[in-house]
């Protein structure tokens, strides 16, 4: 029996799906992040070695795993695919390796095919599409320092901004203030500044504040509702160019990521804006996750 594996490699977590040659899922497991743009090289190599060890166990020997597709964050850095492949080889994997962007594997999993569109709003945000003729277009996904509007990071930053603006009377009081203090275990804006500019604070720490938005929206807080509406509009703006370029007559858009799954107000703001701007786009739920999408891509390669 031959096996294939799909890897969804993020900055903090990597999900792996192993399938047999009939497409039956044999095993799923997780390891640490493999994004070279956010991790030390030694740490990425260690996580890849762990993945290879688990593949060996799952497949009854590495030789049985004949195709591996890795969908990884950060592959727009031209050095990353080669470094990932080299690390896998050094760990003992000798089968076929194909490195693609995690948005590609997410699309394949979400719609169980390579064409269509996907909007991902998690810690970061990106929209990616592929037409039936093979044309592709991507918007967003350029990182939290210059992009990622509508993402968990962007929402977390907006929550903190709302708190400091309310503190100095640039904006009305908001329930986000006490929620943020409780979440961070602090009690002042001065401590917020200390948290934000502490070298140990990363984008994940800022993004961890995003769930507060749902709680505040449920209380009809004006600041929270404004953030949700703005985030939905920003996410729609990611979709619009992809839809106009690749699917002018309408197509399916899979919705993925923690922001769209957990914040009903952002999701509804997005859908309402989509109905105005891209009325022919049909938003659907993702059918499979990105690691399954990567495994399906590997299976297609095996059968080719």
pLDDT of 38 above 70: no
Please tell me the pTM assigned to this model: 0.89
Q: What token pair was written down for 197? A: 């500019």
**pLDDT value for 243:** 98
Q: Are 270 and 260 in contact (CB under 8 A)?
A: yes
Looking at domain 3-112+288-303, its CATH class is alpha beta
Q: Are 302 and 4 in contact (CB under 8 A)?
A: yes
**pLDDT value for 12:** 72
Q: Are 1 and 20 in contact (CB under 8 A)?
A: yes
Q: In the chain, list all ranges with CATH 3.30.420.40.
A: 3-112+288-303, 140-285
| Contacting residues for 69 by C-beta, under 8 A, at least 6 apart | 4, 5, 6, 7, 98, 99, 100, 105, 294, 295, 297, 298, 301
Q: Are 85 and 97 in contact (CB under 8 A)?
A: yes
Q: What token pair was written down for 253? A: 């858009």
pLDDT of 224 above 70: yes
Give me the phi and psi of 9, to 5 degrees please. -100, 110
Average pLDDT, the chain: 94
pLDDT of 177 above 80: yes
Buried b (16+ CB within 10 A) or exposed e, 141-152: bebbeebbbbbb
Does 140-285 carry CATH code 3.30.420.40?
Answer: yes
Of 231, 244, 240, give the one whose Cα is nearest residue 270.
Answer: 231
| Contacting residues for 143 by C-beta, under 8 A, at least 6 apart | 124
Distance from C-alpha of 87 to C-alpha of 100, rounded to nearest angstrom: 16
């Amino acid at each position: 029996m031959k096996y294939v594996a799909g890897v969804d490699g993020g900055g903090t977590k990597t999900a792996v799906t192993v399938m047999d040659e009939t497409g039956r899922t044999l095993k799923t497991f997780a390891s640490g992040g493999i994004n070279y743009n956010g991790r030390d090289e030694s740490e990425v190599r260690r996580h890849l070695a762990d993945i290879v060890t688990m593949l060996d166990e799952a497949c009854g020997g590495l030789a049985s795993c004949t195709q591996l597709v890795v969908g990884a964050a950060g592959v727009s850095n031209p050095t990353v695919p080669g470094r990932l492949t080299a690390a896998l080889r050094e760990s003992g994997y000798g089968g076929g390796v194909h490195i693609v962007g995690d948005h590609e594997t997410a699309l394949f999993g979400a719609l169980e095919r390579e064409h269509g569109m996907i909007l991902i709003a998690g810690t970061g945000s990106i929209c990616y599409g592929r037409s039936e003729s093979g044309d592709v277009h991507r918007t967003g996904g350029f990182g939290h320092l210059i992009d990622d509007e509508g993402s968990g990071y962007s929402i977390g930053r907006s929550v903190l901004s709302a708190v400091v603006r309310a503190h100095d009377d640039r904006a009305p009081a908001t329930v986000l203030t006490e929620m943020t203090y409780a979440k961070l275990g602090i009690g002042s804006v001065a401590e917020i500044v200390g948290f934000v500019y502490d070298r140990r604070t990363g984008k994940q720490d800022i993004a961890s504040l995003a769930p507060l938005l749902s709680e505040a929206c449920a209380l009809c807080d004006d600041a929270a509702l404004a953030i949700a509406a703005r985030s939905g509009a920003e996410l729609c703006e990611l979709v619009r160019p992809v839809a106009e370029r690749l699917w002018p007559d309408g197509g399916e858009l899979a919705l993925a990521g923690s922001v769209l799954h957990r914040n009903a107000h952002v999701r509804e703001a997005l859908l309402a804006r989509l109905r105005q701007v891209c009325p022919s786009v049909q938003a659907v739920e993702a059918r499979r996750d990105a690691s399954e999408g990567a495994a399906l891509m590997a299976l297609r390669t095996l059968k080719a």
